[in-house]
Amino acid sequence: MDQERTLLIVAVGVAVAVGCFVLWGPGTSRTKRRKGHIVGLLNLGHTCFLNTLLQALASCPSVVDWLIEHKEDSEDSLISALRTVLLVLNGEHDHDAVISDPYAPTEVISALLRHSWVISPGEQDAHELFHVLLETLEDEMTSLSAKNGSLSDILLPMRCGQGDAGLPNTVKRTVQNGNVQLDGHRCTSSASRFHPIRRLRDQGSDTTTSLPSVENLPLRSQPASPPIRGTLTSQLKCTLCGFKSALRFDKFDTLSLPLPTSATRQKLTLQMLLDNFVSTEVVKDVTCTNCSKGKEKPVQTTAMKTLNFGKLPKCLCLHIVRTTWNKDGLPWKRDDYVDFPEFLVMDNYTHSQVERNTRVSSL
Q: Are 101 and 39 in contact (CB under 8 A)?
A: yes
Identify the weakest region by mean pLDDT among 8-12, 233-237, 336-340. 8-12
Identify the weakest region by mean pLDDT among 30-34, 108-112, 212-216, 230-234. 30-34
pLDDT score, position 12: 55
pLDDT score, position 143: 84
- Whole-angstrom Cα distance, residue 255 to residue 318? 5
pLDDT score, position 13: 60
Taking residues 225-231, report their average pLDDT. Answer: 93
Higher per-residue pLDDT: 216 or 310 = 310
- Whole-angstrom Cα distance, residue 174 to residue 180? 6
Question: Mean pLDDT over all residues of the chain?
Answer: 76
Question: How far out from the chain centre does Cα 269 lie?
Answer: 22
Q: Are 98 and 88 in contact (CB under 8 A)?
A: no
- Percent of the chain whose predicted confidence (pLDDT) is above 90: 41
Interior CA angle at 346 toward 129 and 317, to 5°?
A: 5
Higher per-residue pLDDT: 308 or 123 = 308
Band of the pLDDT at 9, cuts 50, 70, 90? low
pLDDT for 202 beyond 70: no
Q: Which residues, other chains included, contact 52 with Cβ-Cβ below 8 Å and sequence gap of 6+?
A: 126
Task: Using alpha carbons, list the distances in angstroms from residue 192 to 100, 122, 172.
Answer: 32, 13, 18
User: What is the separation, in whole angstroms, between the first and last Cα of the chain?
Assistant: 97
Three-state DSSP at 201 gives coil
> For 63-77, what is each residue's pLDDT tens digit?
999 999 887 667 789
Identify the weakest region by mean pLDDT among 181-190, 199-208, 261-270. 181-190
Phi then psi for residue 281, to 5 deg, are: -120, 140
pLDDT score, position 185: 40
Band of the pLDDT at 162, cuts 50, 70, 90? very low
> For 92-102, what is each residue's pLDDT tens digit?
776 666 677 78
- Whole-angstrom Cα distance, residue 232 to residue 274? 13
pLDDT for 220 beyond 70: no
Q: Which residues, other chains included, contact 349 with Cβ-Cβ below 8 Å and sequence gap of 6+?
A: 274, 278, 308, 309
pLDDT score, position 82: 94
Phi then psi for residue 314, to 5 deg, are: -65, -35
Q: Which residues, other chains included, contact 211 with Cβ-Cβ below 8 Å and sequence gap of 6+?
A: 154, 157, 158
- Whole-angstrom Cα distance, residue 88 to residue 300? 59
R_g over Cα of the chain: 28
Task: Using alpha carbons, list the distances in angstroms from residue 218 to 37, 138, 361.
Answer: 44, 17, 51
Burial-class residue 258 by CB neighbours within 10 Å (0-12, 13-18, 19+).
middle
pLDDT score, position 144: 77
- Whole-angstrom Cα distance, residue 58 to residue 52? 10
Taking residues 34-58, report their average pLDDT. Answer: 83
Q: Which residues, other chains included, contact 57 with Cβ-Cβ below 8 Å and sequence gap of 6+?
A: 63, 64, 82, 86
What are the DSSP E strand ranges found in 122-277? Answer: 173-176, 179-182, 185-188, 197-199, 230-238, 248-252, 255-258, 268-269
Higher per-residue pLDDT: 15 or 334 = 334
pLDDT for 51 beyond 60: yes
pLDDT for 176 beyond 70: no
Largest alpha-carbon pair distance within the chain? 117
**Cis ω for the linkage preceding 102 (within 30 of 0):** yes
Please spell the DSSP secondary structure of 52-111, one letter per residue: HHHHHHHT-HHHHHHHHT--SS-TTSHHHHHHHHHHHHTT-S-TTS-EESSB--HHHHHH
pLDDT for 106 beyond 80: yes
Which helix (H) or strand (E) segment is 131 a member of?
A: helix 126-144
- Whole-angstrom Cα distance, residue 108 to residue 122? 18
pLDDT score, position 95: 64
pLDDT score, position 100: 77
> For 110-136, what is each residue's pLDDT tens digit?
999 999 888 777 667 889 999 999 999
Question: How far out from the chain centre does Cα 347 lie?
Answer: 23
